[in-house]
Amino acid sequence: MRECRFLIFIILGIPLLAPSGWVWGESVTPSQDEILGRYESGDRVFTRLQIGQIVSYFHQRKIDEAIVEKDFIRYQFNLETQKLIEQKTQWREDLPDRAVAVITEEQAETMAEGVAQFSKLYFISPESDVFPIKPTPENPCWVVRSIDDRRMIVTIIDAMTGEKLGYGIPPPFAGFSLTGPDYGECDPYWPEWAENAEDWFEEMGYVTEMIGCPTDAEVQAHIESDNTAMFYELAHGGYTHFHNKCPDNYILWSEVETWIADYATMPFTFLGSCDGMCDQTDNTLSFEFRKGSNHDAVVVGYCGMSEPECDACWGFSIAWQDVLFENMAAGLTVQEAFDVACLWYPFCAISNCTDLVGDTDLRLVPCVTRSLCGTVYNGYRGPLNVNSRDYYVRCNIVVPSGETLTILPTVVVAFMDNLKIVANGTLHADGGAGRIWLVSDQDRSKGMKFTGQIRFSDGGQIRVY
């Protein structure tokens, strides 16, 4: 059977345009919105985000100026029918009615190392991903982000007593010199994010290799691969590079361009670097993983995750990613899954914190293939079934004597670099129920498309020039 792989790199340690059909978020109260007013009253402020015929309303709970982490009210409606699709409330009952900090923001910032960038007041959730303080603080806390020698630090300070409680997990920051592993450490970082991705892609049918702090050779081996169809990195870096290993090893866009040159595009890439999706033009990671194509390859990732505007999104980043991958696993296109995740957590959409580029119709279920090379037959990488992605022939294919390779209706086989299929056994292209395409990847007008059946055997060849 064909083996599909998903490589997760947990590296521990152009203006963006709104996607088609999106109406960017706005703040509304129930009295200002007829649909929301049927279910809510009072003066709570909701963020409204519309994608197509689905509209989402999201209220982030606050007590005075303190954000209550992970507490929210969310509604989703179908605008055409005006029916409620989903309603969810997550609301702690053990919190006070008021939250007036004794320690001022300015005082808290003087307690943090380096130069303070910004601060926010939080009630930390017992289920927090980014503020793993145990036991969970009862008081509101100042969360101060600061920069010290190109290192981002998240300091947590009790806003009532002034006690420094510990540190949070910073987002993958663009300005680190030691990215991938966190500053001064070479152990893998952000494991919860990577483990979430690993679990979902195993669920989707992809054999997953998760590597913390990979070497350049390990990264190269998975890019120069016929099996690695999915690539996930969460590392400090930007849209031209990410840091993979201590002390100063970077994977550059130019290396990706060289490594992937003779291989098919990477079907799915997740760029978890803070600014990984801030530029998608030539000479960027996003461009090189899909080789500049919007066909059969899609890239999803972050932009500006270390900025104040995306602070709320970082707090929901595992949950956002969880919804994205869950819906991909359910068979939605990557664009559809992306839209659902943004409707659930609109803070990740309204500030351009997340973005997508490439083939919006690509589906990852059933399992897609990267490319074909060498020996292929039914039972080993075949038959070639209907797929949401074309089959790419990267080097000459041989069907061994005594074996059969079947190409089923509506399949597209794209030959890279004037290659061929040699049938020492039998090649059976069965287009009786739908057209089959055998074309050049460089020029899709070259080749043939047919219905009916074609059989080659005993050294017969198909070659596309």
214 has which bridge partners? none
What does the pLDDT read at residue 39?
96
User: Model confidence at 380, in pLDDT bands (50, 70, 90)?
Assistant: very high
How are the residues of the chain apportioned to helix, strand and coil, as percentages rounded to the nearest 5? 20, 40, 45
DSSP state string for 151-168? EEEEEEEETTT--EEEE-
User: Model confidence at 96, in pLDDT bands (50, 70, 90)?
Assistant: very high
pLDDT tens-digit map of 140-174: 999 999 988 777 899 999 999 999 999 999 887 65
Amino acid symbol at 353: C
Q: What's the pTM value of the predicted model, to 2 decimals?
A: 0.90
- Reduced to 3 states (helix: H, G, I; strand: E, B; else coil), residue 74 is strand
| pLDDT of 3 strictly over 70 | no
- Reduced to 3 states (helix: H, G, I; strand: E, B; else coil), residue 379 is coil
Task: List Cβ<8 Å contacts ≥24 apart for 443-446.
Answer: 444/414
Average pLDDT of the chain to the nearest whole number: 89
- Mean pLDDT of all residues in 270-299: 96
pLDDT tens-digit map of 167-203: 999 887 653 322 344 545 566 678 889 889 888 988 9
CA distance between the termini of the chain = 29
Euclidean distance between CA atoms 406 and 413, whole angstroms: 12
